[in-house]
Amino acid sequence: MQKSAIKELFLYLIVGGIATLGEWGIFFALDLCAVHYALATLIAYLLSTFVNWLAGRLLVFKENRPSILKEIASIYLASILGLLLNLLIMWIAVDLLSVNEMLSKILATALVFAYNFLVRKFLIYKKKAE
């Protein structure tokens, strides 16, 4: 792995960590307010995706960026699969396995993290052929 790729991954871990803490905080607050876990997951995921995009744009993916509208559209389009994976994992963990909702959310986030990084790295911010 090249030095720049390692640096990007490390910075994305920080960016992802910030977005994740925000997502978990929002989910936890909504859960305390008795919002159904699926709706809480949706709201938390959409808001954390925005935070992840903004922080990633400022700190990690500084090169090869498309126009801002195309970039945001690409991020949210790619995030739809991440959201569906999140909801599927939450449903399996909560409804089928009776795992605590917050613990299920943490598990779902961990499993979707790699997908999010790879989509951004190799699809949205891929290097153009020279």
- How do residues 91-102 score in pLDDT, each as one tens digit? 999 999 999 998
Task: Give the rounded percent of residues in the chain with a pLDDT score beyond 70.
Answer: 95
CB 44: neighbour CB atoms within 10 A?
Answer: 25
Given this model, what pLDDT does residue 44 score?
93
| DSSP per position, the chain | --HHHHHHHHHHHHHHHHHHHHHHHHHHHHHHTT--HHHHHHHHHHHHHHHHHHHHHHHT--SS---HHHHHHHHHHHHHHHHHHHHHHHHIIIIIT---HHHHHHHHHHHHHHHHHHHIIIIISPPPP-
> Is pLDDT above 70 for 1?
no
Residues 126/64, Cβ–Cβ less than 8 Å: yes
Report domain extents, the chain.
3-124
Residues 41/27, Cβ–Cβ less than 8 Å: yes
- How do residues 47-85 score in pLDDT, each as one tens digit? 998 888 888 888 887 777 778 888 888 888 888 898 899
